[in-house]
Structure 1
Amino acid sequence: MIIKPLKLQTRFSYSISFFILIIVTFAGILFYFTISDALQTQLGKRALYLAETTADRGDVLAAFKTENPSEALQKISINIMNTTEAAYVVIGNEDGIRYSHPVTDRIGKPMVGDDNDRALLGGESYISIAEGSLGESIRGKAPVFDTDGTILGVVSIGYLTSEMDNLFSQYLDNIFYIMMVALIIGIFGSIFLSRSIKRQIFNLEPNEIANLFTEKNALIESVREAIITVNHKGEITTLNNAAAKILHLSDKDSVIGESIELHVPNTHLLEVLTDGRKQLDKPMIINGNEVIVNRVPMKVKGNIVGAVASFRLQSEIDHLAIELSQVKQYTEALRAQTHEFNNILYTISGLIQLNASDEALSIIHKEVQGQSSLTQFIRNHVKDPFLNGLIIGFFNRARELKVKLIFDEDSYLETLPENIEKSLIISIMGNLLTNAFEEVEKNKDRPPIVRLFIFDNGEEILIEVEDTGNGLAQEKLEVLFSENISTKDSKFRGYGLRKVISSVHDLNGTLALGEGDLGGALFIVSISKGGFVENAGDRSINYRG
């Protein structure tokens, strides 16, 4: 039999009720003993007071000097007992022999309890608890003094402890009722409190909270983006290893609870905490690293309780963009080639149906010879297979766009060294050619021509892309390399030139821009064969008129 664990609310209610029961029981017992103590003290003081006032009475002193003191003292004792509800009033002489007693037969006999010495010998008035002839009692004792100070006897007035227990039992009923009321109030309070706590933790059980906590930690550590969360005070509550790496923290737990401004001075998370607005894809610098940041507020029932920032290095995003650009360029090249060959196949199919076999064979031979010649020419001048494929693809794309692509016959390039990132070279060449194709389509006054020149002089690699487009206006040249501007109309354009600049920077190269012999723009890229130098300090990008 499988026993299901109790729910959090039930366990919470049971636990609090149990503790309240213990507390109420303990308080009741403590209250009982406190009351008992107080009653006992008060009865003792009352007995002592009655004994002292009785010993000071003139009729009592006068009775001691008569021939039969018992006759008068017994009447006085009975009267005091009736008026004070004392259990007994006993008056004895200096030898402790009773002159009065509630039981008449015991008059003339010694007083019981052996506690008269302090009164008869020392002349003290005091309270004692002793076993008497009527049972255990709380008694007040006071000596009876003659006018000359001689001790004539002792007065003992007491209350039986058995009667006091009956009095205590009356209070015990009241204490029990108070305990029950307190317990019921505590139980209802625990139920209300447990429900309130359950609502605050979104009705989750402890194991569910533990699982969510584990999943959250695993999630933020599994993503490559750096993640930092802060509370409403701007104090760091969570960060993953990626964030600790960017912030140069050896122990990420050491910064928990510290202000985000101590570690990211230029943070804008506090603005998000104030206005509650998202900030998406915002560039910033953290410890010298360019990052792209997303900032989102965390809200509970409409109230901002914190904010989360996720950010990633700009270099990683650029690398992904370059790879996507390569895939797009290869896809476009293959599409263009497929489209072109489909047109040729349709033409050949039509000629065959028209029984024009000679013309069909002529087209086939011409196409095979032209493609073979182009492929062989490119292979002879460019030894790197990646660039071969890219150039051939752009030739097919140019043919589809009715653009004349000229590959300079003086071009020559060996296989790229391993220390040069090929993807960056491909990104530079692909974006420059794509932009050139689009520019020549705009200028209807000149034939659409694009020239490509690649040369390896042993120390550096030169790439020139020239077109017959409209060129770049002077005012755009002045800000081209400092802003992500576009010379095109679509809001998604302009990224190509920006990627060219970024890739040239990453390769520690230079980019010159001016007007070429074809009348349009001329881009000249120079890449040192020394290879990739990250964050190089002396990289020049300029333009020429």
Structure 2
Amino acid sequence: MRFPRPRSLAGQLFAMQVVLVAVVVAGCALFTYISDGRQAEQAAQRQAGAAARAVAVAPSVRAAVDDHDPSKVLQPYATEVQRSTGVDFVTIMDTHGIRWTHPDKAQIGQHFLGHIEPALRGKTFYETYTGTLGPSVRVVTPIHKGERIVGLVSAGITVDEISARVRSQLTALFGVAVGALVLGGIGTYVVNARLRRHTHGMNATELSRMHAYHEAALHAVREGLLMLDGQRRIALINDGGRELLGVSDEDHVIGRNVAELGLPSPLTGALLATEPRVDEVHLTADRVVVVNTSPVSGGERRGTVVTLRDHTELQAVMGELDSERGFTQALRSQAHEAANRLHTVVSLIELGRADEAVEFATAELELAQALTDQVVAAVGEPVLAALLLGKAAQANERGVELLVSDDSSIDDGLLPESLPARDLVTILGNLIDNAVDAAQGTLHARVTVTARACEAGLILRVSDTGPGVDPAHAEAVFQRGWSTKPAGPGGRGLGLALVRQTVLRNGGTLTVTESAEGGAEFTANLPLPTGADSGSAVVPAIPAPLGETETSSREAANGAAPGGTE
């Protein structure tokens, strides 16, 4: 059994409004009817009063009162007054109430039906009384002759006549009421037809249920969602949007312009843009977000729908993956070169030059191990050590020498849990990649890395022999999208922006200056808990005379691939 679908909200409102209009019109009609009846009665009193007073002051009436047969003179006169004034009767009587005139001649000489006492006292009064013509609204006024009252005049209009007048007015009123109801119904239908289009014919229960689902879905979605109106004010924002933009629940952002949120300029520009944005990567204070915007239009207003996706963890994992991929490629290259060196050793042995084979193999092992020993001795933290070794192999393949300074010293277990290794990989990996890019192709291409824990905190410094950074761009270099290299398919200018974001998130500072070799020197200083300094973790570098360490490292890096790569 199928139950009928409840009437739509627009239909319910239409029915309610029609009933309301009908009630209002009926009420107005009833009020007008009662008001018109009262006004008709008052008009009848005024009309009858004017006729009675006019008769009472007429000289011919006063003269006829003293005649031996007043009816002979007054009856025609009363009939003419009655016809000309529109009243139903004009009765002239003596002071005892005996009629001299009456519309029905048979009533002449009979006693007047009604009250005459106030008139005998000289007062004009009104009353509704049932006489020979039926109920009527009448006026009784005295006829004065000098100081004496010599007669009375009564003029009136029957209630039936008054009702007939009201009925004629009621007919016109009914027509106006019907017209008002029709116009009100048409207006209500037009309004509700528009409402029906906007509500898609849903009833109140369905709208309430949809709103509940809408709210639940809005708060359940982890992606950020913003809706901006035509003036770029926030019309809607979900929990994910607040989290990704760093807006707390206490901040009343609904109705505020996006430019007032204090977001980074590139992100604000993307949100305010009128054209669509697709998968743009932007940085907030502590997150990497992917922004998609889609302008919408409807009716007289325009707006924008914005979705935000959190790529902070993904970006960090991608950085680690890139480092691991580079390290794997370096190992593959070194394995290829190791095979070449092995063939060389075997060939020397086959030629009977065993001593030279041993010397060649030993020298290659010592050179390959020298950089590894230096890095491991200086940086005991395994993730950073692996990163440096991998970056050294990558730099070597690109013709750049990567050195670890003598004062580098980070013991394993020294770094606090509040400073995750992933953040260190993001900072040092991006700085080294940028430094290698800058130094590649220069004379004596070199990148020097310093990683040291001291009382001032954890210092990560990377310098290169590249062209350096213009002091005028010392701040802009950390902005998202800034780069001196041509943009690729995915864009450039994200690495240093990520570094700065990570450093600031950990409460540190990041600066860029000119290095001693003429290139750029980036220094990240991260605070460490009290007591976490180099005094508990100093590991001496590889013993070597001053200046010899860099030479041996350079030879190790160059010797790691004497034959080149495929």
Q: Normalising by structure 2, report the TM-score.
A: 0.67
Corresponding residue of 1:126:
125
Match of residue 329, structure 1, among 317, 323, 327: 323
C-alpha offsets along residues 23-67 of structure 1, whole Å, 9 cap, x if unaligned? Answer: 221222222223322322222222222222223334433433233
- 1:433 CA drift (Å): 3.4
- Higher mean C-alpha displacement, 28-37 vs 176-185: 28-37
Report if the CA contact (8 A) 1:228-1:240 is conserved. Answer: no
Q: How does 1:164-243 map to 2 (within 5 A)?
A: 164-198=162-196, 207-208=206-207, 211=210, 215=214, 219=218, 232=231
1:70-126 Cα distance to aligned partner (Å, 9 max, x none)? 44444444454455554333222111122333344443332112x211212x22233
Match of 1:161 in 2: 159
| Root-mean-square deviation (Å) | 5.5
Name the SS for the 1:18 alignment partner.
Answer: helix
Mapped contact 2:88–2:156 kept (Cα < 8 A): yes
Aligned to 1:116: 116
Cα deviation code 1:441-481 (max 9, x no counterpart): 535x76x77666655578765656576xxx2336x343453
Deviation at 1:161, TM superposition (A): 0.5
Instruction: Decide whether the 8 Å contact of 2:290 with 2:311 is kept in 1.
Output: no
Opposite residue 187 of structure 1, the aligned amino acid is G
Distance in 2 of aligned mates of 1:53 and 1:199: 69
Q: For the structure 1 residues 73 and 247, does the alpha-carbon distance in structure 2 shift closer, same or farther, using more than 3 Å as the test?
A: farther
Distance 1:440 1:260 in 2: 41
Partners of 1:376 and 1:264 lie apart in 2 by 46
Instruction: Report the count of equivalent residues.
Output: 497
User: Counterparts of 1:6-45 in structure 2 under 5 Å?
Assistant: 6-45=7-46
| AA partner of residue 188 (structure 2) | S
- Tell me how far apart the structure 2 counterparts of residues 402 and 274 of structure 1 sit (CA, whole Å): 45
Q: What is the CA-CA distance between 1:157 and the residue it aligns to? A: 1.9
2:382 maps to 385
Please show how residues 354-369 of structure 1 align to structure 2 within 5 Å: none
CA distance in 1, matches of 2:522, 2:264: 37
- The letter for the 2-side match of 1:22 is V
1:4 aligns to what? 5
Compared with structure 1, are the counterparts of its residues 118 and 260 closer, same or farther at alpha carbon in structure 2 (3 Å cutoff)? farther
CA shift for structure 1 position 333: 2.9
Secondary structure at the counterpart of residue 153 of structure 1: strand
Q: Check whether the contact 2:439–2:466 (CA below 8 A) recurs between aligned residues.
A: no
Task: Verify the 8 A CA contact 1:142 1:156 in the aligned structure 2.
Answer: yes
- Asked whether the equivalents of residues 145 and 152 of structure 1 are also in contact (C-alpha less than 8 Å), the reply is yes
- Say which SS state the counterpart of residue 129 (structure 2) adopts: strand
Distance change in 2, residues 1:529/1:130 (3 Å): closer
What displacement does 1:384 show? 1.9
Preserved CA contact (<8 Å) 2:137 2:158 = yes
Matched residue of 2:410: which SS? Answer: coil
The separation in 1 between residues aligned to 2:262 and 2:453, in whole angstroms, is: 45
**CA distance, structure 2, for counterparts of residue 215 and residue 410 of structure 1:** 59
Which residue of structure 2 lines up, in the alignment, with residue 359 of structure 1? none
Match in the other structure for 1:473 = 467
Report the 3-state secondary structure (helix = DSSP H, G, I; strand = E; otherwise coil) of the residue aligned with 1:442.
coil
Q: Is the 8 A contact 1:239 1:252 kept in 2?
A: no
1:107 maps to what in 2? 108
Distance 1:501 1:261 in 2: 22
Shift of 1:137: 0.4
Distance in 2 (CA, whole Å) between partners of 1:48 and 1:464 is 115
- Which stretches in structure 2 are left out of the alignment for 5+ residues? 343-356, 531-566
Residues 1:90 and 2:91 are matched in the alignment: yes
Aligned partner of residue 154 in structure 1, secondary structure: strand
CA distance in 1, matches of 2:159, 2:190: 46
Aligned-partner residue type, residue 116 of structure 1:
I
- Alpha-carbon deviation of 1:20? 1.7
What residue in structure 1 maps to residue 415 of structure 2? 417
- The 1:496/1:74 distance shift into structure 2, 3 A limit, reads closer
Q: Is the 1:403–1:437 Cα contact (8 Å) retained in structure 2?
A: yes
Q: Tell me which amino acid in the other structure corresponds to 1:40.
A: E
Which amino acid is 2:163 matched to?
Answer: D
Secondary structure in structure 1 of the residue aligned to 2:157: strand
Equivalent-residue separation in structure 2 for 1:449 and 1:258 (angstroms)? 51
CA contact (8 A) 1:272 1:297 kept: no
Distance 1:57 1:500, change over 3 A: closer
Tell me whether 1:151 sits opposite 2:144 in the alignment.
no
Q: Give the aligned partner of residue 542 of structure 1.
A: none
CA contact (8 A) 1:231 1:237 kept: no
- Tell me what 2:508 maps to: 507
The one-letter code of the counterpart of 1:15 is M
Find the residue that maps to 1:127 and give its secondary structure: strand
Please report how far the alpha carbon of residue 414 of structure 1 lies from its aligned counterpart in structure 2 after TM superposition: 0.9
